[in-house]
Amino acid sequence: MYARFDNMLKEIDDEYRTSLINFAKCHLIMFAMAKIMEMTKEEQNQVALFLFNAINLEVNKTILYNV
């Protein structure tokens, strides 16, 4: 599931595809990425689904309150 979302983002967003971030300055992101890479595919899918739902909830809140 992570790979699918990653590929979808690369197709949609040029900035996502071409951005180079120095993750050495972002210790929390590096830690989270390392933990996710240690997980099984099922656990990675659960994390991806949680993040998708959390982002979707925030987007829906923004849409509802800005109408």
Burial category of 1 from C-beta neighbours within 10 Å (exposed 0-12, middle 13-18, buried 19 and up): middle
Q: Which residue has the tokens 């309150």?
A: 65
The SS3 of residue 1 is: coil
Q: Taking the model in full, what pTM does it have?
A: 0.55
Beta carbons of 51 and 9 less than 8 angstroms apart: no
Q: What would the pLDDT profile of 12-48 be if each residue is shown by its tens digit?
A: 766 655 666 666 677 887 888 889 999 999 999 999 9
Q: Locate the domains of the chain by residue range.
A: 2-65
DSSP letter, residue 44: H
pLDDT given at position 23: 64
pLDDT given at position 45: 93
